Structure 1
Amino acid sequence: GARIPAELLQDPEINAAIAQDLPATHDFEVHRTIWRLRRCGARHVGLQMPEGLQHWATRLADIVRRFVPSVESTTIFGDVTFGACCIDDLAARALGVDFLVHYGHSCIVPTDQTTVATLYVLVEVQVDVAHLVATVRHNFAPQKKLALMGSVQFKTGIAEAAEQLRREFFAEAGSASVPQVKPLGVGETLGCTSPAVGDVDAVVFVCDGRFHLESAMIQNPHVPDGFFRYDPGEFKLTREGFAHGQMHKIRRAAIEAAKGASMVGLILGTLGRQGSPGVLEEVERLLDRRGTPHLTLLVSEISPERLALFRDVGAWVQVACPRLSLDWGEAYSAPLLTPYEAHVAFGDTAYQDVYPMDYYSNRGGPWSNYGAHNGHGGSLGKKFSHLRNRKYSSIEYEDPEAPVH
């Protein structure tokens, strides 16, 4: 594709603003953002980011307004943003935003499916590669087969460390591998989507929390020496465990309890793009085939108190975030199933020994975004093509030269 012009990359005023207002450890891709906004003549820019980055939102808005002459206003989105699935292009369009910048996550909702022009900025965070490499060398023998994974912020550091370890330390071919599940990037893991690591002895996972790591552990329960978390901010390596048996026992009990429900509630999450109409319709089809009555509820945040108001509903299937059921399912008075669990409870799918973390994998089951009707969020029953057709969502501006009537 086209490259960012050198004069923009070397602009002393832009570089001074970045150095003064933003942390040197985080890459907010300011030059690329300014370049894209200038090229398309954006006038109303939306900025969306998770809570951990919102401290810098107003500074980014100031930089955008200062260095993109066409920009007349910026809107910072304050709603909670758990992941890239929460990209709120629909609200952006409703607010008259003509360009949305989403920070902190990779592109899992393709930009040709968003209703306004969209730029994803990963916000890569620097990793002390030398320390990560030294930590691995100190804790693992050269003949071990190791995989390196992490959250998207650390992907460059992970790749550099893996390359160095392959070159200088590990004797085994295939060690220091960096697994991938497409369409995610190499080594990238989501809370709901994780690559299978294959034949390795241990996994080193680079991240600053456990959410993404748990996804990788659920997808890979058979790693002999287990998982180790490297925290690049604390410079610590910790051995991590996961209660696989307990999780499977709880989820199987929820599935069994749901089978007897005389009324099933289907939840389509409306927090950004969490809810996939195609995935919902697959579950509707299963229930219709069984003759089980069902209702559909649209809700942005799924709380136990809200669902408890529906006393006639014997079980819920939530098409929002699979981890909500896994991590918090016991807090709800009725079983709260994921789409995969719904296919086990109401369809012909057998419960799997390895719980699938494939919600955004392009090889996911019929309960996943790409597996449902063979398309990302695809819907057969409801047509959403008008949302993808930008000519219907272009913002109408008044001509400043036109006479006022």
Structure 2
Amino acid sequence: MYDFEEAKVKEFLKRTGAKRAALQVPAGLAPHLPEIMRPFDQLGVEVVIMAGSCYGACDLADEAAKKLGSDVLVHYGHADMGLESVLPTLFVEARIEKSPIESLELALPELRFKRVGLVATVQHVGHLEEAANFLELHGIQTFVGGPSTRTRYPGQVLGCDVGCAKAVAPMVEGFIYIGTGEFHPLGVALVTGKKVVAVNPVSVSFKIFMPQQDEFIKERKAMVARAALGKTFGVIVSTKKGQSRFNLASKIVDLLRREGKRTYLLAVDDISPEVMKNFGFDALVLVACPRIPVDDAERFESPVLTPFEVLVMLGKLPIEPYRMDEINKEDMG
């Protein structure tokens, strides 16, 4: 199902002369560990599995791997976003080999577009040309935006970067997303204001996301209203290399304090409800992975806001049009 690029891994290990390799494997690929391990076993390279989080290329465990005496780091399931590493690092994107055509055929009756933008996660981005050819045979013109600040390929989207979709939004009537999960197509719909048809090649299914996400907006309004009642706020910034938006976090701390909120800045590697519960904050602001406030908010006892929602809470911006949290270079540092 996945292409683990064994030849590429072997070449990398031989070229670097690695004796001990650290591996980062996201949870979804962990069951494939025996297959992933094959080139390392064949070359007699010792492996240390970095069993902490592996949320994206932003979550690089190079420094921890070096402390363990690793010569190299091999990071699976994500595309290189250009972060500096203290070790020679290889990204194995684990592309999914299954074609999206069967799912697109199912979705065809819903594709009432003449001009459509194509987006995908990195596991499926290699099938965008195939999808474009199929759609154009059915009279649908396709557009693919170029790589953005944190992406490597045309049409690639991240939870924190949908720049390729924004680039072509003025030219299209809607989008087709190829991949799994709901966070990415939801983000594309909200950011671009366009209908998104999400096709899932793995489950051979599709789902429609409208830009008017009434239920989602209702839930976020309720979260903002709960937070507004709070007196103590924890602003959480990540120590992960590609998520550490300290500049933005500091601005939010200052803003909340000026509004009379007792506010604390917390630096955390892996953000968990259990750790946050210990502090007893009335509300939390996540200045880390944008997915957490949207996908995991119900796991936290306190309301969890995005940086945009802080401005909504303080009456500085309206909640609509809703703005998904995206990571920008100026917020880092």
TM-score category (smaller protein): 0.7 to 0.9
| 1:351 match | 318
The 1:149–1:216 alpha-carbon spacing in structure 2 relative to 1, beyond 3 Å, is same
Cα pair 1:190 1:215 within 8 Å, conserved: no
| 2:145 match | 179
| Alignment pair present for 1:255 and 2:224 | yes
Which of residues 162, 167, 172 in structure 2 aligns to 1:200? 172
| 1:216 match | 188
Cα pair 1:265 1:296 within 8 Å, conserved: yes
| 2:330 match | 371
The 1:50–1:330 alpha-carbon spacing in structure 2 relative to 1, beyond 3 Å, is closer
Q: State how far apart, in whole Å, the 1-side matches of 2:242 and 2:93 are.
A: 18
SS of 2:124's equivalent?
Answer: helix
Cα pair 2:307 2:325 within 8 Å, conserved: no
Give me the TM-score of the superposition, normalised by structure 2.
0.82
Once the 2 structures are TM-superposed, how far is the Cα of residue 49 of structure 1 from its aligned partner?
1.4
Q: Which amino acid aligns with 1:336?
A: V
Once the 2 structures are TM-superposed, how far is the Cα of residue 155 of structure 1 from its aligned partner?
0.6
Could you list the per-position Cα deviations for residues 315-357 of structure 1 after superposition, in whole angstroms to 9, with x for gaps in the alignment? 21122222221233355343211223234446x8523523333
Q: State how far apart, in whole Å, the 2-side matches of 1:260 and 1:140 are.
A: 44
Which consecutive residues of structure 2, in runs of 5 or more, have no partner in the other structure?
none
Q: State how far apart, in whole Å, the 1-side matches of 2:15 and 2:262 are.
A: 52
What is the number of residues matched between the two proteins?
A: 327
The 1:308–1:136 alpha-carbon spacing in structure 2 relative to 1, beyond 3 Å, is closer
Within a 5 Å distance, the mapping from 1:170-319 to structure 2 comes to: 170=139, 175-180=141-146, 182-183=148-149, 184=151, 185-194=153-162, 195-196=165-166, 197-220=169-192, 222-223=193-194, 226-240=195-209, 244-259=213-228, 261-270=230-239, 273-287=242-256, 289-290=258-259, 292-311=261-280, 313-319=281-287
| 2:90 match | 119
Cα pair 1:100 1:116 within 8 Å, conserved: yes
Q: State how far apart, in whole Å, the 2-side matches of 1:32 and 1:129 are.
A: 25
Q: State how far apart, in whole Å, the 2-side matches of 1:247 and 1:132 are.
A: 26
| Alignment pair present for 1:39 and 2:6 | no
The 1:116–1:278 alpha-carbon spacing in structure 2 relative to 1, beyond 3 Å, is farther
Q: What percent of counterpart residues are identical?
A: 27
Q: State how far apart, in whole Å, the 2-side matches of 1:138 and 1:316 are.
A: 43
| Alignment pair present for 1:96 and 2:76 | no
Once the 2 structures are TM-superposed, how far is the Cα of residue 292 of structure 1 from its aligned partner?
4.2
Q: Which amino acid aligns with 2:307?
A: P
Structure showing the higher strand proportion among its residues: 2
Q: Which amino acid aligns with 1:215?
A: G
Q: State how far apart, in whole Å, the 2-side matches of 1:133 and 1:265 are.
A: 44
Q: State how far apart, in whole Å, the 2-side matches of 1:85 and 1:282 are.
A: 22
Superposition RMSD on alpha carbons, in Å? 3.1
| 1:386 match | none
The 1:251–1:277 alpha-carbon spacing in structure 2 relative to 1, beyond 3 Å, is same
Q: State how far apart, in whole Å, the 2-side matches of 1:248 and 1:209 are.
A: 19
Cα pair 1:88 1:273 within 8 Å, conserved: no
Once the 2 structures are TM-superposed, how far is the Cα of residue 138 of structure 1 from its aligned partner?
6.1
Rg larger in 1 or in 2?
Answer: 1
The 1:309–1:237 alpha-carbon spacing in structure 2 relative to 1, beyond 3 Å, is closer
